[in-house]
């Protein structure tokens, strides 16, 4: 976690329960991330397996949904790539 004004205010206001969401939302701007976000990144880079990510997650059910969504997006991109590789004539028909 990176100290920033939002985290500081949450602590000072006794709103500790909101800190995990603030960390998650601050990934791009503050370069902070939750443990589960780090697991997702490591899975996406191929450093750990699906099972390792789930078994070590802080909130396994939430991470499973994120991993499933990530896998579906990868498959979708691969399918689009394969479709664009096929030779087609001017009418869009296979040659």
pLDDT in tens, 1-42: 667 888 889 999 999 999 888 888 877 777 788 899 999 999
Q: Exposed, middle or buried, 36 (CB in 10 Å: 0-12/13-18/19+)?
A: buried
For 40-74, b/e burial (b = at least 16 CB within 10 A) is beebeeeebeeeebbeebeeeeebeebbeeeeeee
Identify whether 89 is part of a domain.
no
Q: Give residue 30's domain range.
A: 5-84
The answer, as to whether pTM is greater than 0.75, is: no
Identify whether 94 is part of a domain.
no
Identify whether 31 is part of a domain.
yes
pLDDT in tens, 33-43: 889 999 999 99
pLDDT in tens, 47-93: 999 999 999 999 999 999 999 999 999 999 888 877 666 655 556 66
Identify whether 11 is part of a domain.
yes
Domain count, the chain: 1
Identify whether 52 is part of a domain.
yes
Identify whether 35 is part of a domain.
yes
Predicted confidence at residue 26, as pLDDT, reads 75
Identify whether 64 is part of a domain.
yes
Identify whether 92 is part of a domain.
no
- CA distances (Å), origin 20, targets 10, 30, 53, 62, 63: 11, 14, 18, 13, 14
Of the candidates 75, 94, 76, the one whose C-alpha atom is nearest the C-alpha of residue 85 is 94
């Amino acid at each position: 976690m990176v100290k920033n004004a939002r985290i500081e205010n949450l602590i000072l206001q006794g709103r500790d329960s909101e800190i995990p969401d603030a960390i998650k939302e601050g990934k791009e701007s503050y370069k902070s991330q939750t443990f589960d976000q780090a697991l997702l990144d490591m899975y996406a880079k191929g450093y750990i397996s699906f099972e390792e990510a789930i078994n070590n997650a802080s909130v396994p059910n939430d991470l499973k949904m994120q991993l499933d969504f990530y896998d579906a997006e990868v498959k979708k991109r691969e399918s689009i790539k394969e479709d664009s590789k096929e030779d087609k004539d001017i009418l869009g028909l296979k040659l």
